[in-house]
Amino acid sequence: MIIDTHAHLNDDRLIDSVENIIKDMHSDGLEAIINVGYDLKSSEVAFTQANIYENLYATIGIHPHDSARKGKNDYEKFTEMAKSNKVVAFGEIGLDFYYDRSERSIQEKVFKEQLELADYLKLPVVLHIRDAYQLAYDILKEASKWLNNGVVLHCYSGSAEMAKRFADFDAYFSFGGAITFKNSNKEEVVNVINKDRLLLETDCPYMTPHPFRGKTNYPKYIKLVAQKMQEWFPNINIPALTTNNAKRVFRI
């Protein structure tokens, strides 16, 4: 059984399918799904869904794309939701300098604020970093006093060398459908990461693995990600390993 550590069942493309997704979890080889918020509204939806279904958990937070739209009372509302044991992390938060949908200085400010809030709430942080790994590393180093509950680099796309540096924060690294793409070149990166820090995700409905690339992604496709990683480590039980790692960092 596998834990999908990063899904968006709060997305419009999946929200009407949630009941069937949950019903089929066991037959699809899924032990649990972590449903990720990216702004206040999506966090509230994830929170509501998690409180309906036993094996569904939620994260709360503001994605870098939405940093400029942070509401006056968002942090207060996140704090209230975090009282539930179904909220297992703060995220996805971070920096995205590829699309620059929020001004970079605002992204940095909101990122730092949320790192501090996550520590106050005693939650691990789930990071979305794109084209900003060095700055993210620098911010985490500066904010290391707030990194007491775990760090997860979602859909890690950085270099092997950068992965070694993020290990300074005892970080976990999550991999999804991209590792199944031709010429993904992720095996070298995964090889430098301590095996007890590897996680699997789908990022559904995005990042659909081969051979369904280009179509809507679903949590059931996590097995394709696991199969690819299993090819790299034939002597390790990847589903068991990554599930135990997920339980450790998210305390579920």
Write down the pTM of the prediction. 0.97
Higher local confidence (pLDDT), 98 or 84: 84
CB 59 within 8 A of CB 97: no
Mean pLDDT taken over the chain: 97
Angle between helices 222-232 and 238-250 (to 10 degrees): 110
Residue 100 has a pLDDT of: 85
92 token code pair: 């996805």
3-state helix, strand, coil in the chain (%, to 5): 45, 15, 40
The mean per-residue pLDDT over the stretch 141-157 comes to 97
The fold of the 2-250 domain, in CATH, is TIM Barrel (3.20.20)
Runs of H (alpha helix) within 121-169: 133-142, 160-166
31 token code pair: 């032990």
DSSP assignment of 160-191 equals HHHHHHHGGGT-EEEE-GGGGSTT---HHHHH
Higher local confidence (pLDDT), 184 or 30: 30
Residue 112 has a pLDDT of: 98
Q: Distance (Å, rounded) from C-alpha 74 to C-alpha 70?
A: 7
- Is the pLDDT at 192 greater than 90? The verdict is yes
- Is the pLDDT at 183 greater than 90? The verdict is no
Residue 73 has a pLDDT of: 97
Q: Where are the domains of the chain?
A: 2-250
In the 3-class helix/strand/coil scheme, how is 25-85 assigned residue by residue?
A: CCCCCEEEEEECCCCHHHHHHHHHHHCCCCCEEEEECCCHHHHHHCCCCHHHHHHHHCCCC
111 token code pair: 């990122």
For residue range 37-66, what is the model confidence (pLDDT) as tens digits? Answer: 999 999 999 999 999 999 999 999 999 999
The mean per-residue pLDDT over the stretch 127-146 comes to 98
For residue range 222-251, what is the model confidence (pLDDT) as tens digits? Answer: 999 999 999 999 999 999 999 999 999 999
Residue 180 has a pLDDT of: 97
Q: Which single residue is written with the structure tokens 């089929």? A: 24
Residue 185 has a pLDDT of: 86
- Show Cβ contacts of residue 150 under 8 Å, excluding neighbours closer than 6 positions: 89, 124, 125, 170, 172, 249, 250
- Is the pLDDT at 184 greater than 90? The verdict is no
Q: Which single residue is written with the structure tokens 């696991």? A: 226
Backbone angles phi, psi at 160, to 5 degrees: -65, -40
